[in-house]
Chain A
Amino acid sequence: GESVGLHLPTLSVQEGDNSIINCAYSNSASDYFIWYKQESGKGPQFIIDIRSNMDKRQGQRVTVLLNKTVKHLSLQIAATQPGDSAVYFCAENKGNTPLVFGKGTRLSVIA
């Protein structure tokens, strides 16, 4: 069963460095993946998404990599800034089923 009060995995990076946030997903049939950023006191905001027919997709300062063989998703943030400090969630789904969210990773940027 689930535990209460689990600590979020935390990643601390120096301002200006690149960040890599990882996510392992569970359903090998999932064909859509998405990353959200959640700042303190706000709802999650869309960052980038990728479909299973792609391995990589780039946005502005962000890149998502998908490795279907090992069911792994990563979010790379280039030149991390203080404003990138937040909790990052990955999510997956197949077809029209609801998104299934990971538990999140807290990114802390050290100025």
Chain B
Amino acid sequence: DVKVTQSSRYLVKRTGEKVFLECVQDMDHENMFWYRQDPGLGLRLIYFSYDVKMKEKGDIPEGYSVSREKKERFSLILESASTNQTSMYLCASSPLGTRGQFFGPGTRLTVL
């Protein structure tokens, strides 16, 4: 079974802190994605990556950056956390040429 793991299930940070959310997949997938999920708004794409060292902006990249130094790991960085970044963050991965994505369990981030 594909496994996508996220470093934390729950995280509480203060405004202005730098926050790292880590995602690791164990199936050698080329594609990785970061979404945030808010009530009534569905899943919104923040950043994605189709290969190591590559990154593409999604629909809502402002206030975020990403890093993909290894194929299995895709990190989401909040340079200076703000209260409007309180959300559920979901990581997903998929093999090259495959449309369906496999999701991790999510990290619920609260910024105070």
Number of interface residues of A (CB under 8 A): 26
Q: State the Cβ distance, B27 to closest chain A Cβ, in Å.
A: 14
A104 engages B100 (CB within 8 Å):
no
Looking at chain A's contact residues, the main secondary structure is: loop
Chain A binder among B14-22, B33-41, B66-74, B75-83: B33-41
Task: List the B side residues contacting A36 at CB < 8 Å.
Answer: 103
User: Are A49 and B99 also in contact (CB < 8 A) when A43-B105, A98-B58 are?
Assistant: yes
Task: List the B side residues contacting A32 at CB < 8 Å.
Answer: 99
Q: State the Cβ distance, B109 to closest chain A Cβ, in Å.
A: 15
* Interface residues of A, Cβ cutoff 8 Å to B: 2-8, 32, 34, 36, 41-46, 49, 89, 93, 96, 98-99, 101-104
